């Protein structure tokens, strides 16, 4: 075998090796991106749920502040019994 054939074979093996490892690296990066996206979506859902609970509590407080009924004291006491989160 002369040097040209050795270089061609070496380049072919190198290209094949780079292609195999490059493909595996890209697959790993894609799985990482998908995992990060799932985690971000989960956190967004948690924040949305927390925001919804806070909005509900603010609505109750607004109603209490504008309500002059006799049950005002009972409603305030019931708010103390509810968990914050």
Q: What is the pLDDT of residue 54?
A: 94
Tens of pLDDT, residue by residue over 22-78, are 999 999 999 999 999 999 999 999 999 999 999 999 998 888 778 777 677 777 777
Q: In sequence order, what are the residues at sequence separation of 6 or more whose Cβ sits closer than 8 angstroms to the Cβ of residue 79? A: 57, 60, 61, 64
Cα-Cα-Cα-Cα torsion 43, 45, 51, 52, nearest 10 degrees, comes to -160
pTM here?
0.51
């Amino acid at each position: 075998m002369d040097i040209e054939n050795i270089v061609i074979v070496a380049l072919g093996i190198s290209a094949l090796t780079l292609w195999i490892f490059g493909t595996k690296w890209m697959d790993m990066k894609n799985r990482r991106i998908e995992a990060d996206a799932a985690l971000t979506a989960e956190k967004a859902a948690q924040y949305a749920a927390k925001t919804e609970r806070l909005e509900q509590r603010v609505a109750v407080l607004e109603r209490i502040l504008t309500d002059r009924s006799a049950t005002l004291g009972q409603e305030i006491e019931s708010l103390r019994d509810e968990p914050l989160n």
